[in-house]
Chain A
Amino acid sequence: MAEDLTRPDPRWHIRVRGLHKTFGPQHVLRGLDLDLERSKINVVIGGSGQGKSVLMKHLMALLEPDQGHIYVDGRDIVGLNDVEIRDVRRQFGMLFQNVALFDSMNVIENVVFPLVERYRMSESEMMERARELLVRLDLAGVAGIEQKFPAELSGGQKKRVGLARALINRPQILLYDEPTTGLDPIATKNVDDMIRRTADDFGVTSVVISHDMASTFRIGDRIAMLYEGRIITAGTPAEIQARPHPVLREFVETSGAVTFTRAEARP
């Protein structure tokens, strides 16, 4: 099926084809194909060192692949020049694993940072946008939040400030790098809810990189599994549960995530 990938598709926001990447002797991505659905939560799961973060960095054009193409709304973002790449990155927001708030800046400075650096916008306009986001992300109730520094925030607050910073330039695509790693079950659930709500409220296409099985099946509209540099299986949670790939099955069973095994047990 010769599909024209350079035409924007109503369903698929990002389409990755034949992505290869090597770092020295390590062949990390080995011909990766992946479709990410518009306005949905797409979860990419995989073990440590399978190339999840590398894939994420390719999506944002932070890394250049050795081979392959990435079409964002039909536009191939591989091989663009500096100015065009900057243009591409404007469509993206990213929440880092460690949130990566700037320690030397307070909350409000962190949140408006992408605007200060990239857009010509009046100070009051920026502040208005930032405050609106703080309200929508339930941060406005925290006393003196705007002037606090990242070190003074709780883990959950940091995530939300990081999310506000990722959302401030109104991206169409939001990337989450292992958002629930190292969190307790309650905090994990809170972050899951936050991702769900953000996807629904802002209508963004979400891409979540994760190895947390329970939260993957809780929030994922689509799940893809990355194994040895390729996507070995992809589909909706129901499809995945109906015909599990052996590697995925082992991954899920070892993790002890109830969702999958229970569905399996039911004949």
Chain B
Amino acid sequence: MTERRDASAGQPPPEQAPPPSLGEIGLRLVAPVLVVLQLFGEHVQLLWQSFAWLFRRPFRPRLFFEQMEFVGVGSIPIIVLVGFFTGVVSALQAYLALTRFQQERWVGAAVGISLARELGPVFTALMITARAGSAMATELGSMRVTEQIDALNTFAVNPVQYLVTPRVVASILMMPVMTMLFNVVGLVGAYIIAIIVYNIDFGQAAELYRFYTDPSDYLQGLIKSVVFGMAMAVTACYQGINVRGGAKEVGLATTRAVVASSVAVLVIDYPLVQIFAAIWPAGD
């Protein structure tokens, strides 16, 4: 297109471009959709490759443990902090709402269910995206621009196997663990607010929590966190290894990685909840 425009600019009788055919119009309309589909496809491909390389020699357990330490152990302080205050605030809000009907004893059940199903997995995924996802994109991005990824290739080491697989696997394994930690700490926060600060009867609150919060609630949260961990790691690694350029592009890739992973977590959340609703209908 540009060529044609440039050529016609110099000639006095401008040659009229033929009107676009129906097919062309159609193509232009679907182009953005195709871009999104291609991007999605490339993510799926990277995920597939990272699993395929998991089963090929050489196995490098050290790399997996390093990433598990980084994604998991390294995230403990932030998860504890955020989990505690999430529990505190949900208990407080639940108390303030329920106390209007003198139904404060339901605080435990309300906080327990919302932590297990929604707050735990989603907040954990967002915090780990911010911490580990951004680091993955930055690290792989700077390795790319300083030719370290090319260097791996010259040593006959596959970069996906060496860099992406450990990160994806570590995220899948550690995300549920961190989610459970979040749940536990959140309940401690809720206990402090409800039982110690607002003097709700512990026996009633605990019994209602025990009765209404099912293992299936926790299972739903854990399944979600596995999917979130996978989505976060693949998105971050994809952005990292596809950086072209220099330091500026690494920064942009990091931003894109965090935004895309966070959006992915929140968007994927909906269909999962819908599926879980079919498997575990409400009120059973």
Contacts and interface: CB of A to CB of B under 8 A. Distances in A.
Please determine whether chains A and B interact with each other in the same assembly: yes
A67 interface: no
Most chain A CB within a 10 A radius of its CB, from B148, B151, B157? B151
A232 to B, nearest CB: 27
A113 B150 contact: no
Contacts of A98: 146-147
A89 B156 contact: yes
A28 to B, nearest CB: 16
B154 A103 contact: no
B146 A62 contact: no
Contacts of A62: 150, 153-154
B142 to A, nearest CB: 8
Interface of B: 58, 142-143, 146-148, 150-151, 153-157
Interface residues of A, number: 19
Nearest to B151: A100
A194 to B, nearest CB: 19
B133 to A, nearest CB: 18
Interface string A68-99: 00000000000000000110011010101110
B104 to A, nearest CB: 52
A118 B151 CA distance: 14
A60 interface: yes
Contact of A102 (B148, B150, B156): B148
A114 B155 contact: yes
A60 B58 CA distance: 22
17 contacts: A60-B154, A62-B153, A86-B156, A89-B154, A89-B156, A94-B154, A96-B147, A97-B147, A98-B146, A100-B147, A101-B148, A103-B143, A103-B146, A103-B148, A117-B155, A117-B156, A117-B157
A157 to B, nearest CB: 16
A100 B146 contact: yes
Contacts of A102: 143, 148, 151
